[in-house]
Amino acid sequence: MPVSRPAASAVELVTNDRLTIVRRGYPDGAPQWLSTTDHPVTALDTDGDTVFAALTSGEVVALDAAGGTLRWRTRLTVDGIPTVALSLTVAESGHLLLGTVDGRILVADRQL
């Protein structure tokens, strides 16, 4: 009995302005969805179900990986003071790790 495997895909930033996130299918690279942000993206990662993006505005957004729709959007702060994430990665522990412009590494819940 043949076993079917889910199609692989990649999520990336496109265009020089860093305002567009695209999910591409494998192996042809055809766009599956596009999402445009209102500020440039500084970092991008996915856990397979959600695409997380940090923006120069200090916001972090979560998009549904299957369709690109917005799940949530929040402004990043440390002790009530706004900051900007320059790096972002999804940790296996169920958290996001965010490297900020002021040199901090923040640990946040993926469900911000």
| 7-22 pLDDT tens trace | 456 777 665 678 999 9
**pLDDT at residue 104 above 90?**
yes
Q: What is the pTM of this model?
A: 0.86
Q: Please state, for a pLDDT cut of 90, what percent of the chain lies above it.
A: 67
Asked whether residue 2 is assigned to any structural domain, the reply reads no
pLDDT at 63: 96
Asked whether residue 62 is assigned to any structural domain, the reply reads yes
pLDDT at 3: 39
Asked whether residue 3 is assigned to any structural domain, the reply reads no
Asked whether residue 1 is assigned to any structural domain, the reply reads no
Q: Which domain holds residue 54?
A: 9-109
Residues 15-31, mean pLDDT to the nearest whole number:
84
Buried b (16+ CB within 10 A) or exposed e, 15-39: eeebbebbbbeeeeeeebbebebeb
pLDDT confidence tier of residue 4, bands split at 50, 70 and 90: very low
Asked whether residue 4 is assigned to any structural domain, the reply reads no
Which CATH number do you get for residue 17?
A: 2.40.128.630
pLDDT confidence tier of residue 26, bands split at 50, 70 and 90: confident
Up-side HSE of residue 81: CA atoms within 13 Å toward CB? Answer: 6
DSSP bridge partners of 68: none
